[in-house]
Amino acid sequence: AQSVSQHNHHVILSEAASLELGCNYSYGGTVNLFWYVQYPGQHLQLLLKYFSGDPLVKGIKGFEAEFIKSKFSFNLRKPSVQWSDTAEYFCAVINAGNMLTFGGGTRLMVKP
């Protein structure tokens, strides 16, 4: 069975700081990868996704993620965070033999 690990459970940053959230998965074959965001009191929304092609994926609101197959990683980055980025971020992975599996989430707090 596949698993997804998000090693940072809570992150606190000041506005304008750079962000990198880690995501590692266990499955060795072909995967589709996602980052979802959940703003306080809201449902999950898709930030970005990787299916194939360029391993550097750009999403909404200035976020990007890099798929590194050799490291089984799909880390999320943003050069300069804003207070409005305060949210919980979820990495998710799916392969042909399994359903979508989520990591435990990372709570990001951005201080103004």
Partner 1 sequence: DAGITQSPRHKVTETGTPVTLRCHQTENHRYMYWYRQDPGHGLRLIHYSYGVKDTDKGEVSDGYSVSRSKTEDFLLTLESATSSQTSVYFCAISEAVYSYEQYFGPGTRLTVT
* Sites of contact with partner 1 (CB under 8 A): 4, 6, 9, 32, 34, 36, 42-46, 49, 51, 90, 94-96, 99-100, 102-105
Cα 109 to Cα 95: distance, rounded to the nearest angstrom: 31
Pick 67 or 103: Cβ nearer partner 1: 103
Q: How far is the CB of 106 from partner 1 (least distance, A)?
A: 10
- Name the nearest CA neighbour of 51 among 34, 36, 63, 29: 34
Pick 3 or 14: Cβ nearer partner 1: 3
> Coil, strand, or helix at residue 30?
coil
Q: How far is the CB of 84 from partner 1 (least distance, A)?
A: 18
Q: How far is the CB of 86 from partner 1 (least distance, A)?
A: 17
Pick 28 or 104: Cβ nearer partner 1: 104
Pick 17 or 86: Cβ nearer partner 1: 86
- Which segments of 1-112 are extended strands (E)? 4-5, 10-14, 19-21, 24-25, 31-38, 45-50, 56-58, 64-68, 73-78, 87-95, 101-102, 106-111
